[in-house]
Amino acid sequence: EPEVTQTPSHQVTQMGQEVILRCVPISNHLYFYWYRQILGQKVEFLVSFYNNEISEKSEIFDDQFSVERPDGSNFTLKIRSTKLEDSAMYFCASSEKRGEPDNEQFFGPGTRLTVL
Amino acid sequence: GIQVEQSPPDLILQEGANSTLRCNFSDSVNNLQWFHQNPWGQLINLFYIPSGTKQNGRLSATTVATERYSLLYISSSQTTDSGVYFCAVLTGANNLFFGTGTRLTVIP
C-alpha cells in the first residue's frame, strides 16, 4: 500500500543551525502539507503546497520556514535558523484531492526535531 | 477559528472492554478524520468520515455533520489500542484542525 515517507526519523541540531526535513508523498497525490506537534500538544497545521507554490500557511510558518519540491518526488521543509521552540515532531501529509469529497490526508511517520 | 473538542481527555480500560470517544466541532466541515497516534508518535489513519457510519474490524465511527459531532467506538479493546486518538476536521481552508486528543490506556 502506498505511503508517505519521511527522513530523517530523528534530527538533533544546535540552535541557529539550518535543518531540512524531507518527505516523499504518495506518488499520485498533488497536495502536500506540513504539520507539527510539540511534545504533549495537539497537531498544528504549518503549510499546504500545490502546483509548486504555497496554498495556505499558518501564523507559525514565519520567514524562518520555507518549503520546496526540488524534484518530482521530494517535498522539503527548511528551517533557516532553528530556535529551541522549534523542537517538535514534524509530519508531512499528502492528499489526492483538495476541497472536494475524498480529500483524505495521509501522514508520514514524522521527523522528531530536537534543538539544543 | 473552528473549535474541535474531544472527550474524555483520558480513558483507562481493562482489556476486552468497549469505549466511545467523542469529537465535537463548532462549525460545518468538509471532512473529518480519526487518527491513532501510537507510542512511537506515528499518526495512523483510522477513518475518513465526513458523515455517516463506517466500520473497520473492532473499530467503527459515526459522524452526524448536522449536529457537529463524531463518535469513535472501540470494541473488545486490546493493549495495542493504547495511544492517543485524534479527530481532525477540514474546513474551507483545506487544512486539518486537530482536536486535543483522547489518551487511551488499555491494561491487561
A106: contact with B, CB 8 A cutoff = yes
Residue of B42, B56, B95 to mutate for A, most A C-beta atoms under 10 A: B95
Cβ A98–B93 below 8 Å, yes or no?
A: no
A5: contact with B, CB 8 A cutoff = no
Cβ B45–A48 below 8 Å, yes or no?
A: no
In the stretch 72-91 of chain A, residues with CB closer than 8 A to chain B read 89, 91
pLDDT tens digit string along B42-81? 999 999 999 999 999 999 999 999 999 999 999 999 999 9
Please state the three-class secondary structure of chain B as a single string.
CCCEEEECCEEEEECCCCEEEEEEECCCCCEEEEEEECCCCCEEEEEECCCEEEEECCEEEEEEHHHCEEEEEECCCCHHHCEEEEEEEECCCCCEEECCCEEEEEEC
Contacts of A101 in chain B (CB under 8 A): 50
Distance (Å) from the C-alpha of residue A107 to the closest C-alpha of chain B? 6
Rounded CA separation A96/B26 (Å) = 26
Rounded CA separation A87/A13 (Å) = 10
Residue labelled with grid coordinates 448536522 = B66
Cβ A56–B95 below 8 Å, yes or no?
A: yes
Q: Per-residue pLDDT for chain A (116 aa), expressed as one digit of tens each? A: 789 999 999 999 999 999 999 999 999 899 999 999 999 899 999 999 998 999 999 999 999 999 999 887 899 999 999 999 999 999 999 998 776 666 889 999 999 999 99
Contacts of A58 in chain B (CB under 8 A): 95
Rounded CA separation B78/B16 (Å) = 6
Between the CA of residue A94 and those of B4, B9, B35, B77, B106, what are the distances in Å? Answer: 22, 28, 15, 30, 31
Rounded CA separation B50/B29 (Å) = 7
Supply the pLDDT for residue A59: 93
Cβ B98–A42 below 8 Å, yes or no?
A: yes
Rounded CA separation B73/B62 (Å) = 8
Distance (Å) from the C-alpha of residue A110 to the closest C-alpha of chain B? 7
Contacts of A112 in chain B (CB under 8 A): 41
A3: contact with B, CB 8 A cutoff = no
> What average pLDDT does chain B have?
94
Supply the pLDDT for residue A100: 62
